[in-house]
Amino acid sequence: MKMILLVLSAMALTLSTVTPSVSAESACSGVDRTLAKERARALGPVIAKQLEAKRAEISQSLRFDGWSILYVSTGEADDAFVFYSGDPMRNKYVTLWGGVALENEEKEIRTWTLKNAPGIPRTLANCFAWHMTKER
């Protein structure tokens, strides 16, 4: 019985090393994923106005090379990721993503992002696609 467990453990270890999973550190390398509470509070009213909502709560942020993707809840519509080229305080959003993605749809999400957010850095598009399919 001990021999069977030892063999199974070795097989599991081998499988885990031949099929490495991409981590946030590599998929989102260089992407700023922090969001200070003060920044979220300041952005709320500005984004609410852009979305024609009474309020907006920002709970996640992905930023890279002048672009931002913010996860926004308004309480009036489905939560969405809102894409900005430039400072969200001064620029209107480029596009929105609402909904979910399956783990095997990373390529499709990246393609959608590059198409619907023209000019978005590939690094940020890759991070968003990974975030939607692997981290959520």
Whether the CB-CB separation of 59 and 71 falls below 8 Å is answered with: yes
Q: What confidence tier does 10 reach under pLDDT thresholds 50, 70, 90?
A: very low
State residue 63's pLDDT score. 98
End-to-end CA distance of the chain: 38
Estimate to the nearest angstrom the gap between the alpha carbon of 102 and the chain centroid: 13
Strands 67-73 vs 57-64: parallel, antiparallel or unpaired: antiparallel
**In this predicted model, what pLDDT tens digit does every residue of 17-69 receive, in sequence order?**
333 345 556 889 999 999 999 999 999 999 999 999 999 999 999 999 999 99
Tokens of 48: 């609410």
3-state secondary structure of 87: coil
Q: Which amino acid is at 71?
A: Y
Confidence (pLDDT) at 22: 54
The pLDDT value recorded for residue 12 is: 40
Name the phi and psi angles at 4, rounded to 5.
-65, -45
Whole-prediction pTM:
0.81
Provide the percentage of residues in the chain whose pLDDT is more than 70: 81
